[in-house]
Chain A
Amino acid sequence: MKRRDFLKIAALSPAALLAMNAGCRGTGSPARRAIVLGIDGMDPFLLNSFIHEGVMPNAAILMASGGLNRLGTSNPPQSPVAWSNFITGYGPDVHGIFDFIHRNPVTRAPYLSTSRVIGPERIISISDWRLPLSGAKVELLRKGEPFWNRLTDEGIPVTMVKLPVDFPPDKGKAKILSGLGTPDMRGSQGSFTFFTDDARSITDTTSGGVVVAVRDYGDNCYVCRINGPENSMRAGNPAMEVEAKVWVDRDADALRIDIQGESILLAAGEWSRWVRMRFDAIPNISSVSAIGRFFVKEITPKLKLYLSPLNIDPLNPALPISEPQDYSSDLARDLGPFYTQGFPEDTKALSRGILSDEEYLQQAWIVLQERLDLFHHELSRFSEGMLFFYFSSLDLNIHMFYRVLDPGSPLYASTDPRFKGAVRELYAQIDRVIGDALSARDGNTEIIVLSDHGFAPFNRSFNLNTWLAYEGYANITSSHARNQDMFAAIDWASTSAYGLGLNCLYINRSDREENGAVPPEQVSDLLLRLKQDLELVTDPATGRRVIANAYITSDFYPGSLPSFAPDMIIGYSRGYRSSWETTLGSYPVDVITDNLDPWSGTHCVDPGVVPGVLLSTVPLSLPDPNLMDMGKSISSLFDVPVLPPGGRNIFRGYDS
């Protein structure tokens, strides 16, 4: 887009003149305030198109100030990796986050890369009871120093709301509410509960939640047992439980949920407010608080009652979700409870058919409304320093609704046309957020809008592990187990490589992995051969290359790498992604298949395919901004003697 074009768009709004006028202060003098909006998954191409359609007048104003810039993302371009680049100014070789999923280099057991819980070291066991003598700890696995420490060291206030990859939050002087990576109360990334007496819905293999069979014995009452967190004070760690009685009136098409002395009446199709639940570890002595929202999907003919993942109660958090600890409680007191889990939009409930498109979007808008309330609350009291605010809505909803944007999606034709405007409406809402930030701007405030990556369609799935097996890099010995995860089908002694996670490939090294097959001296040659073979893979259905680049990690990130680092990072071409099955070590028969999951957009591809976005009131001095530059650049807006070491300063007028 030419500068003249976007000036024209910007001129459409009177607010543009005000905002641009406010921006006329002399550059170079330190800012008093910086508002940084972290919009996960905002895509430069979609943004550009919506600006042209007039959907995003406020983004157009920002574009007129500092241009619409593509922001270099991380490799691989996954949110935990990308936001860690933003936070530390360095790549995964320093912060240690290479994928959503890492693996134990010896046992190959996968684990979530961002945090882990360490149980109490000493426990007294008395009969069935276990009394911990020290508390359990949660450890943030992201390494590296956050850039804002340089600001807080100089007494500049910093507030980071829903900050990704910061659970538990960094201890320091910044006020932080943790975002992506924060688990639910069951320790998962979000596990719904679905109560039903519909035999067709009852399954014990639903990913992303549990389906609980309930029954009406003729008294119009269903007893619903809600499983909460594990009780570490009992042998075997059984789940703590809360009982809800659900009374139904089929004539009225309504039900009443009686839970812990509280009653909630809901008609079919309604969502409840947040319901607080107390799970007793030791009755009347030790309990934890959780919050959940009910949704009545159906009462007649069958009961279908959805309960959201049990979120950590921000008023009384069972795990550290904010720094200082009472920050989340203060927010909850001012605004009421809110989603605290890192992935609040229940994409799994949609993927599994528990929620329909419409019901999922209702839930997504509840999340967004809560975020907007939080944002306006923080913006209204923001007077000095840096305010970072993170929005997850674009990312998770475009993952689910890319199928309405791309006619190439296998689900494009079958998706209800009513939802075709969903993505546009979400972008429009984010534009209103940008507008609110612009309205809060005075002559000494800078506004920066950035995203961690863009988006691409996920139409075709690549079974990396199956491909490795067919090409002789892996040996399937238990063909009946090939659809089981955790590499159940494999003979390790005759397997030279395996894929785990979304973009990572590992060599089965004899000096690292248990029963590893590849001697260290053969690793380099093997990696070169794999790179060559992978980059030649074509999709027989389209004739297109599946993998744009296979990066040998030690070449891309020279220097010492941690033992859990992948040996190769797979950069998929646009339209392709690792398959659902391959990410945790299954070996389905077909190498490339259609992706028929509503999760139809992806960014887990080659970083060149999905750059992020940078919009700013400050013009740039460099043409190729990168996420890793943002910490140093934002810090340069303030009067600090020493800038953070990572990245480059990209802001013109502030380059020291």
Chain B
Amino acid sequence: MTNAAGILINGFFDILLIPFRTLPHFWGLLFISLLSGLGMIMVFKFVSNQDKILRLRRRMGGEILGILLHLSSPGTVMNFAGKLIWSNTLYLGYLLKPLLVIAIPFMLVWGQLDARYGSAVMDESDPVTVTVFFENGLPLKDSLQIGVSGLELIPPVLFIDTLDEASFRILPLGDSLPNLKIEGVSIQVGRTGSWNGCRIHRGFDSGNSLKRLLTPWIARVDRMPEGPGSGYYSLPDVRYGVLGGYWSWIAVFLLFSSLSAIAGAKFFKVKI
């Protein structure tokens, strides 16, 4: 079930980003950010009680005015201030429902953007360190079987007994999609497609919980008794040049989704 939902969500974003496949990463990130801001403000509009919010905002405006007009009368100011605090509490209550509704798509979008725009693709000149965790204890050093496809394995293999972890380095080779096989467990590494904006795996695990929908950068593997249960690849972060600075995808997303939400609220007259 989780698997099918994951495939659907990943597929949906893959289709959404088709026009941006040959463009630099930034444009896809910008598009999703703007779309998310707009989408969230529209969800807010239809889920929230716009009339109640409008009335409450007017009341709060009146209460602020009341405070300003009666500054010389402490009792009246206190009275209006108390009312204003209550109105604020009510306002937060009105926001609760739409925020809860928005939270799920927001987390899905967050995970998808992190998977697609958070990490750099593997570079042929820069080895990536892979660390795998063996839940049932490390295999013997000489018996560990690592197979690679589309990759070059760079020795040595490092064993950390105290953590039940083994680490090694890989380099991508050519255009084929990289894959690892450790003790019979087949593992996708790095990019999942050859286009810009595809998901980039930077880890794997064999669990099947709902959390997987929110972490699409983790490849799912089949559990094998002797094989590794989880692992991660140390891929470098990506920075995006915007407005004279170099920003993480999170900063770009928050900036542009907020801008589009504000613009959407203005255009569609959404009361927030």
B75 at interface by CB-CB < 8 Å: no
In the complex with contacts A263-B167, A265-B129, A333-B241, A315-B246 CB distance below 8 A: yes
Q: Is B211 an interface residue (CB 8 A)?
A: no
Complex: A365 Cα to B127 Cα, angstroms: 20
Chain B residues positioned under 8 Å from A252 (CB to CB): 156-159
Residues on A with beta carbons closer than 8 Å to the beta carbon of B131: 256, 263
The answer to whether A333 and B239 touch across the interface, beta carbons within 8 angstroms, is yes
Pick from B158, B236, B246: contact of A265, CB below 8 A: B158
Which residues of chain A come closer than 8 Å to B73, judged between CB atoms? Answer: none
- Chain B interface size range: 20 to 34
A272 to chain B, nearest CB (A): 10
List residues 136-182 of chain A with CB under 8 A from any CB of chain B: none
B127 neighbours in A (Cβ, 8 Å)? 265
Question: Contact flags (1/0) for B146-162 with A, using CB distance below 8 Å?
Answer: 00000000011111111
Q: A263 — which chain B residues lie within 8 A by C-beta? A: 129, 131, 167, 232, 234
Closest approach, in angstroms, between the C-beta of B216 and any C-beta of chain A? 18
Across the interface, A251 reaches (CB within 8 A) one of B141, B232, B239, namely: B141
A318 CA to B68 CA, complexed, in Å: 44
Name the distance in Å between A21's Cβ and chain B's nearest Cβ: 38
Given A256-B167, A263-B234, A265-B169; A220-B129 close (CB under 8 Å): no
The reply to whether B159 and A251 form a contact with Cβ atoms under 8 Å apart is yes
Chain B 214-241 interface 0/1 with A at a Cβ cutoff of 8 Å (1 = within): 0000000000000000001010100101
In the complex the two chains form, is B161's CB within 8 Å of A220's CB? yes
**B126 beta carbon closer than 8 Å to chain A:** yes
- B134 interface residue per 8 A CB criterion: no
Complex CA gap A316/B155 in Å reads: 33
A residues less than 8 Å from B126 (CB atoms) = 273
A565 at the B interface (CB under 8 A) = no
Q: Which residues of B contact A325 (CB under 8 A)?
A: 244
* Residues of B close to A333: CB separation below 8 A: 239, 241, 246
Say whether A221 contacts B129, CB under 8 Å: no
Q: Contact: B246 with A256, CB < 8 Å?
A: no
A228-272 CB contacts (< 8 Å) to partner B: 247, 249, 251-256, 262-265, 267
Complex Cα distance A41/B131, Å? 46
In the complex, B20 has a CB within 8 A of chain A? no
Question: In the complex, A622 Cα to B225 Cα: how many Å?
Answer: 83
Q: Given A252-B156, A255-B158, do A247 and B239 touch, yes or no (CB 8 Å)?
A: no
Q: How far is the CA of A253 from the CA of B158 in the complex (A)?
A: 8
Q: Would you call B161 and A265 a contact (CB within 8 A)?
A: no
| Closest Cβ–Cβ distance, residue B95 to chain A (whole Å) | 24
In the bound complex, how far is the Cα of B167 from the Cα of A267, in angstroms?
Answer: 12
| Residue contact A329 to B246, C-beta cutoff 8 Å | yes
- Is there contact, CB below 8 Å, between A265 and B167? yes
Does residue B94 face the partner (Cβ distance < 8 Å to A)? Answer: no
Q: Does A219 contact B (CB under 8 A)?
A: yes
Among the listed A249, A255, A262, which residue makes an inter-chain contact with B234, where contact means beta carbons less than 8 Å apart? A262
Task: Indicate whether A247 sits within 8 Å of B129 (C-beta atoms), given known contacts A252-B156, A267-B156.
Answer: no
Q: Mark B232-261, 1 if CB is under 8 A from A, else 0.
A: 101010010100111000000000000000
Q: What are the interface flags for A296-335 relative to B under an 8 Å C-beta threshold, 1 for contact and 0 otherwise?
A: 0000000000000000000110000000011001100100
Most buried by A among B126, B127, B157, B246: B246
Q: Is B168 part of the contact surface with A, judged by Cβ < 8 Å? A: yes
Residues of B within 8 A of A265 (CB): 127, 129, 158, 167-169
Is A326 a contact of B156 with CB atoms below 8 Å? no
Which partner residue on chain B sits nearest A273 by CB separation? B126
- Which A residues touch B234, using CB under 8 A? 262-264
Give the residue name and chain of the B residue nearest to A218 (CB).
B162
**CA–CA, A316 and B241, complex, Å:** 11
Q: Which residue of B lies closest to A251 (CB)?
A: B141
User: Which residue of the partner chain A has the closest CB to B234?
Assistant: A263
Q: Which residues of B contact A315 (CB under 8 A)?
A: 239, 246
Q: Is the pair A249, B162 in contact by a Cβ cutoff of 8 Å?
A: no
Q: Given A254-B156, A267-B156, A315-B246, is A221 in contact with B162 using a C-beta cutoff of 8 Å?
A: yes
Query: What's the nearest-Cβ distance from chain A to residue B230, in Å?
Result: 14
A26 to B155, CA, bound (A): 60
Measured between beta carbons, the chain A residues less than 8 angstroms from B159 are: 249, 251-252
Asked if residues B157 and A326 are in contact (CB atoms below 8 Å), the reply is: no
Could you tell me the distance in whole angstroms from the C-beta of A377 to the nearest C-beta in chain B? 15
B163 within 8 A of A: yes
B129 / chain A contacts, CB cutoff of 8 Å:
256, 263-265
Q: In whole Å, how far is A115's beta carbon from the nearest beta carbon of chain B?
A: 24
A256 CB contacts on chain B under 8 angstroms? 129, 131, 158, 160, 167
CB-CB under 8 A from A219, the residues of chain B are: 162
**Shortest Cβ distance from B235 into chain A, in angstroms?**
9
Residues on A with C-beta less than 8 A from B163 are 247
Alpha-carbon distance between A440 and B245 when the two chains are bound, in angstroms = 32
Q: How far is the CA of A325 from the CA of B156 in the complex (A)?
A: 41
Q: How far does the Cβ of B217 sit from chain A's closest Cβ, in whole Å?
A: 13
Q: How far is it, in angstroms, between the C-alpha of A273 and the C-alpha of B157 when the chains are bound?
A: 19
Do residues A253 and B246 form an inter-chain contact, with CB atoms below 8 A? no
- Give the distance in Å from the alpha carbon of A264 to the alpha carbon of B156 in the complex: 13
Chain A residue at minimum C-beta to C-beta distance from B160: A247
A276 to B234, CA, bound (A): 13
Bound CA–CA A316/B168 (angstroms): 30
How many angstroms between the C-alpha atoms of A4 and B244 in the bound complex?
A: 55
Q: B158 contacts which chain A residues (CB < 8 A)?
A: 247, 249, 252, 254-256, 265
Complexed CA–CA distance, A265 and B157 (Å): 9
Interface flags for A58-89 (1: CB within 8 Å of B; 0: not) read 00000000000000000000000000000000
B-side contacts of A330, CB under 8 Å? 241
Q: Per a CB cutoff under 8 Å, which of B157, B161, B169, B241 touches A329?
A: B241
A247 to B158, CA, bound (A): 9
Q: How far is the CA of A273 from the CA of B158 in the complex (A)?
A: 19
Residue of chain A at shortest CB distance from B156: A252
Q: Which of B167, B236, B239 has the most CB of A within 10 A?
A: B167
Please give, as numbers and ranges, the residues of chain B lying within 8 Å of A329 by CB-CB distance: 241, 245-246
Distance (whole angstroms) from the CB of A64 to the closest CB of chain B: 38
Known: A256-B131, A262-B234. A316 touches B246 (CB 8 A): yes
Q: Which chain B residues numbered 135 to 187 have a C-beta less than 8 Å away from chain A?
A: 141, 155-163, 167-169
Q: How far is the CA of A251 from the CA of B144 in the complex (A)?
A: 15
Q: Given A263-B129, A263-B131, list of 19 further CB < 8 A pairs? A: A220-B162, A251-B141, A252-B158, A254-B156, A256-B129, A256-B131, A262-B236, A263-B167, A263-B234, A264-B129, A265-B127, A267-B155, A267-B156, A273-B126, A316-B245, A325-B244, A326-B241, A329-B245, A333-B241
Identify the B interface with A (CB < 8 A): 126-127, 129, 131, 141, 155-163, 167-169, 232, 234, 236, 239, 241, 244-246
Q: What are 7 A-B contacts with C-beta separation under 8 Å?
A: A251-B159, A252-B157, A252-B158, A254-B158, A256-B131, A256-B167, A333-B239
- A contacts, CB < 8 Å to B: 219-221, 247, 249, 251-256, 262-265, 267, 273, 276, 315-316, 325-326, 329-330, 333
Chain A to chain B: the 8 pairs with minimum beta-carbon distance, closest first: A252-B156, A263-B234, A249-B158, A265-B129, A263-B129, A219-B162, A254-B158, A254-B156
